[in-house]
Structure 1
Amino acid sequence: MAASGKRLIGKSVLITGAAQGIGRASAMACRNEGAHVIATDLNVELLKELQKEFPDIQIDHLDVTDEDEVKSVINKYTTQSDATKNISVLFNCAGFVHHGTVVTTTTTDWDRSFTINVKSMFLLSKYTIDYWLKSKVKGSIINMASVASSMKGAQFRCAYGATKAAVIGLSKSIATDYVEKGIRCNCICPGTVDTPSLRERFVTLGGGDAEKGREEFTKRQKMGRLATAKEVAAMVVYLASEETAFITGTEFKIDGGWSL
């Protein structure tokens, strides 16, 4: 399939959590807009399926919670012989949704949530920005936050909402520290998005009944439907492009009016 657009020609986008859902949709969308895409995930088998469909997408295993592996992957994709393939956009998409209240959430749940959802973004951003500063790259970081954060409380999302509020704060901090270096950082705050991981949570919310769970998730969306991964991926393309060259430190809601 030939690229359908030219909005990201000259960009090299590294995406975490790219094996399925929003990450996969974003890898495809960025690739179709002319970007060189580096798709990373723990699930290499699903990444291979993506690469089979799009052979020009690079794929790699990445545990976003392992600092040594993060350093290794960032180093690998900032020292490529073809400099145009070195990272110029980072999309921190990998994440984990814990179901629980402040009472039912254990310290293990809390720590795991912050490690996967916040520490990972800290690590990826730290080592990517270090490369950008040394190489004078004016890069863009896009962090996956959520409306369930400092924007809105959501039932049974104690640890998750806290981590996503932290992501918003982290994004603003990065934006403030590096705006004068030409490095941007923004975050995307979706409502409920129809993805494979959400479908697993249908069963939990529905008490074992997946269809009941879907209905409950859909009820809270005032438009009467869930978002698609492609709709979020369109925002990723926008924030990776030069169309947003004057935007940094901003949260973009894609929530179907949930927060109204």
Structure 2
Amino acid sequence: MYNLLFVDDDQWIAESMRTILNWEDFSLNPPYIAYGMEQAQEIFQKVPIHIMISDIEMLGYSGFELLAWVHEHYPDTLTAFLTCHARFDFAQKAIRLGVFGYLLKPVNEQELADLLRSCIQRLKPPKEETEETPARQIPKRMEKIVDYINKNLANPITRESICRELYISESYLSRTFTKEMGMTLVDYITECRINKAKELLRTTDLTVTNICTQVGYNYAAYFTKIFKEKTGMTPNQYRDQYG
């Protein structure tokens, strides 16, 4: 499910947006509402916002300031603006800022629906994120090692533990694993842990702390750090986008 933010200093207009559409039809959570730039910035800092629709002419500042801030700090967020006037200069400036679209007030339900469908189409995750990733081709003599790793992701996995369980020498493991798999043993274990975490985030309601322990990390903060390094987002952001 995706997150949508409406920004308008007219409280009546902003609140009316909560019920204008059935949000689940667009794979959207109920929208977040902000009545100004500071409140919008606070929401951005708390949750991932995938689409923002903002009024342009707001009391005390131009909505273009907010659009510029979003494009600087959250460039993946799709933005659109609301306006009472079909002004050419507004459209020109919006294009320069990379705005995805605009709506005239009063908001027409069909036009809003069309805009959101276009946004969701743009935001759709790559196919490999919505379906189970095809298994890596495993060389035959690595199968037992890989099987051991996948069955023990919740436990400490070391070169010594693998060799002890599979009755192979450490020199053999060190010599062959990187050559056969195209990455070091440590990197492969990390890849398996993160892939398992992604699966659990997509398919279960387990907390991040529980998932952290199920994939072999003792500390949620360290797990989050590694997860973000590998995926570009935090576990919660990943769940919001792909769950």
TM-score under structure 2 normalisation? Answer: 0.30
Q: Which has the higher contact order (CA 8 A, sep 6+)?
A: 1
Structure whose alpha-carbon radius of gyration is higher: 2
Q: Which has the larger helix fraction?
A: 2
